[in-house]
Amino acid sequence: MTKFHDDTNCIHGPSHNEDPYGALTAPLYQTSTFHFKDAAQGAARFAGEEPGYIYTRLGNPTTRELEEKVAALEEMDDAAATATGMGAVSASVLSFLQSGDHLIASKALYGCSFALFSHMLPKFGIEVTFVDMTQPDALQNALQPNSKMVFAETPINPTMTVLDLDMIGKFAKQNGLISVIDNTFLTPLLQKPKHFGIDIIIHSATKYLNGHGDVVAGIVCGSKEHIETIKLTVLKDIGATISPHDAWLINRGLKTLSVRMERHCASAQRVAEYLEGHPKVNEVYYPGLPSHPGHRFLGKQMKGAGGVIAFEINGTLENGEAFINATKLCTLAVSLGDPETLIQHPASMTHSPYTREERLAAGISDGLIRLSVGLENVEDIIADLEQAFSHF
């Protein structure tokens, strides 16, 4: 097959023009089950002796198109689509860990990932150690004889801390661990964890991959062996599989991923530079700024800094609430990667599963604000932030 650039693959994917009727847009197979021509064919498919579809929880042509396209973008062998981003997180962990195993995780994570690791996994006898992966010896110091996996996201939500994927990948390989990276914030267009030896890559497809704010979904990319294990165990039996309609919507969204990410990154850079110069802002966390420690990874690990900014405002928690409430163009909502600019307060929203002590230890202060820069005119976004600052 001809090797295309990523922005071409976002549109066409590996199975381009294979529709038997020549449809330009791949059809939506909105069906729960698939019929067999006879009992022998049904038996052969259940036995794995004949390719084909059986039941949408086990596979669907629309879902398969999405899986193949994202796997190709991540340069991984295969992928499994899930009902939510947390479905991708839980499937990537529960498929490979059991009672008595040990997971090493970044101390700063998306709030629900943290809640799963800190509150749910211990109920099933899985031990978790949270570490600061920016520290040189943190992973080695956390290693135990029963360690089986290392899990992180980069940039980290919401502090925008950038982790060294090469270091994580090498550590995992040297110690026989499965490495899992959440690549939601940058997408395969800006960062390819496989290039650094990462085994499993996950996305909340709700965000940039879909890009229109009308789907919740996830996807896990990995080797054929890892994906087969995920599909035949956790996804099959727990059932967090994606609906065909949601897969169809994400396939549609992927066609514009390249141009959307260009705009998100360019506008976020402008907004970050504006915020860094504002007298009511204490700190701006955005890897596109030379002042950010993660800036050194641009051009090496990351092709771009993404569309999410975090910043600390002067004053109290009440000032932060007043600022957010005063925005008019920016939408007060969680999530990211939508056409709309979204603004939220992690301490009271996405990271509320943390205790205050856990939150502060992860670098999430009372005054931290997260901004997902959308596709509006950047001058309008900046003007909205400027007028909101006047309210405190």
Beta strands in the chain (DSSP E): 78-82, 102-106, 127-131, 147-153, 178-182, 200-204, 218-222, 281-285, 308-313, 331-332, 342-344, 368-372
Cα 300 to Cα 55, 106, 259, 370, distances in angstroms: 43, 21, 21, 25
Catalytic positions are: 57, 110, 182, 207
The rounded distance, in Å, linking the Cα atoms of 264 and 367 is: 24
Q: Which residue has the tokens 């996305």?
A: 203
Angle between helices 257-276 and 378-389 (to 10 degrees): 30
The rounded distance, in Å, linking the Cα atoms of 249 and 244 is: 9
Q: Which residue has the tokens 């909101």?
A: 388
Residues with Cβ within 8 Å of 177's Cβ and at least 6 positions away in sequence, in order, are: 104, 147, 148, 149, 150, 171
Q: Are 275 and 335 within 8 A, CB to CB?
A: no
CA 263 to chain centre: 19
The rounded distance, in Å, linking the Cα atoms of 80 and 74 is: 13
Would you state the structure tokens that stand for residue 173, as one six-digit string? 């390989």
SS3 of 369, please? strand
Q: Are 301 and 331 within 8 A, CB to CB?
A: no
Amino acid at 177: L
Amino acid at 332: L
